[in-house]
A and B are shown apart, each in its own frame.
Chain A
Amino acid sequence: MEHWRKSAGAFWAGFLPPTLWLLAFFFVPLSLIWAFSFGEKSGIIDIDLVWTFENYARALEPLYLGIFAKSLWMATITTFICLLVGFPVAIGIVFAPPKMRMWLLLLVILPFWTNLLIRTYALIAVLRTRGHVNFALEWMWDHANSFLTLIGLGSFSLLGERFEPLQMLYNNTAVVIGLVYVGLPFMVLPLYAALDRLDRSYIEASLDLGAGHIRTFWSVVVPLALPGIASGIVITFIPTLGSFLTPDLLGGPDSQMIANVIERQFKSANHWPFGSALSFLLMYATFFGLAVRALMSRNEQRGIR
């Protein structure tokens, strides 16, 4: 690699355009809301920069602290479910015949390339009270009922007077389902990468020496795949924590996450300083996650040496 001074003209010609764009249209906007987060609302759109911590203090009020806790909790559950489902899927892909492997991997990544909004909408169409899941349940209910009538138990209405559709939308469960739907590919990819690198002779040795599959899984596979697991957890957790669309469309009034509160502060509530403070708290949480991941990958590299 050349030192930049050797051809300074070429360096600046290539360096300046992307850098200036990033400065003007990314770092300046971020700095602006960073400054706003220490400001005070003085009119409908006026914000006085008074360097107060009041907005951050307000984020510690029980209401907002509760929403933060709830967001963390939802992201944790989502990540956990993704790990629980993603691990067997990753194992299945790794041990699939080589030809199938690429296809299976592609199948898992493909939803990632369809629009998030459309995927969420598809979930609404399936889960709503008059959606496909309830339709299937009703069909099963009808048939079970006619079966009961057939064997002479129809008059007891064992399954209730009439079919009650399940309320699957506009609650926390719906949000978690939606977040898992979005997050699963994020989890499977790093797990796949880690398991693919794993030396299979370790598993064979463990099985040969008399350990069962479960013991082998916990004492050989999991410790060796730990970096991939950690990476998958962070990669799934971060976007989940900041997700806006899923809780907005699938959640009820009590399943708001941080991003929804931020949106409200910037749009309907029109309190930008507070919204900015919340944005930065969310960003600090993100950076914390990324730092954890960087630290772990550094430790891993040290371990290999």
Chain B
Amino acid sequence: MALLSRLRARREPIGPLDYYRKLWLRLIMIGTLIFLYGPISTLIAFSFNDSRRNIVWRGFTLKYYEKALENDELIEAFTNSLTIAFFTTIVSVILAALAAYVLWRFRFPFKAAYEGAVALPIVIPEICMGVAMMAFFARIGWPSDLPWPLSLSQITIAHIAFSFPFAAIVIRARLESFNRELGESARDLGASEARVFWDIVVPHMKPGLIAGALLSFTLSLDDFVITFFTAGPNTVTFPVKVYSMVRFSVTPEVNAASTILIGLTLVLTAIALRLQNRNNMNMQA
């Protein structure tokens, strides 16, 4: 019955504003989606393909995943990327929470200019920030032969500088729904500033903090350009490693490694989106 009624609904004439049901528009949309997803889906599909030629389907295999996992350089690069992303996330969230709180709570001179300055790392071209960080670390003589994980410090510092402004925007949005009077009454009742921040503001910020953390983590994990310029000769991150592999050739191992990274990013993004949705729903309620 449901099918029947659906069929009947289909047969309704296309109304003047039913652009969505116009054939030409559907063709453009389908074409666009194929353009956006075709390449990525073939990449993922062919990471399971049992052929080195990487073009004709010869059956399912996981051997390129095994190969990728046995590739020590790839694993090292992946470990580096995760380590950098981890430290970037921690510092970014702390800095972002403080910046968001200050912007939310206080009036101060040149506040609009300050907000613009905090957002600047988001808007300037990546290449400019990359070369600036490269020149900066070279000029101040940052040691490049530190033991692991300190050898990742340059990249981590650069990642924090561009990812905490993103996290600050997310956390700031969350604070909009916070009732100022709660903090004020706590202070009137004798709670210290630190106490108010920890016991009242932070719990409210929490969904924003988690979303900001996931955002910082993905941004750091995905970054290529800025890492490319700040990485020392002996530190390789996952995107940098993939870059050197891609320049070399198109192989199923690269497909497998890429698929792992896509999967990881998608899962993290899905969690972040979910949290944000719940956040919005709470605000409406």
Residues of A within 8 A of B (CB): 1-4, 7, 9-11, 13-15, 17-19, 21-22, 25-30, 32-33, 36, 45, 85, 88-89, 91-92, 95-97, 100, 104, 107-108, 110-111, 113-126, 128, 130-132, 135, 181, 184, 200, 203-204, 207, 238-239, 241-242, 244-245, 249, 259, 262-263, 266, 272, 275-276, 279-280, 282-283, 286, 290
Contact = CB atoms under 8 A, between A and B. Distances in A.
B125 A242 contact: yes
B265 A114 contact: yes
Contacts of B275: none
Given A117-B243, A242-B126, A266-B229, A26 B16 contact: no
Interface residues of B, number: 83
A27 to B, nearest CB: 8
Given A9-B193, A121-B242, A125-B46, A1 B250 contact: no
Given A11-B108, A125-B46, A244 B55 contact: no
B71 interface: no
A121 B39 CA distance: 9
Chain A, interface SS category: helix
Given A117-B246, A122-B40, A181-B35, A89 B55 contact: no
B75 interface: no
B125 A283 contact: yes
Nearest to A132: B42
B25 interface: yes
Best-buried of B17, B26, B29 by chain A (most CB within 10 Å): B29
Contacts of A181: 35-36, 39
Interface in B249-285: 250, 254-255, 258, 261-262, 265-266, 269
Given A115-B239, A125-B42, A244 B127 contact: yes
B139 A7 contact: no
- 6 smallest CB-CB distances across A and B, nearest first, come from A242-B125, A29-B136, A122-B39, A29-B132, A18-B99, A14-B102
Interface string B110-125: 0000100110110111
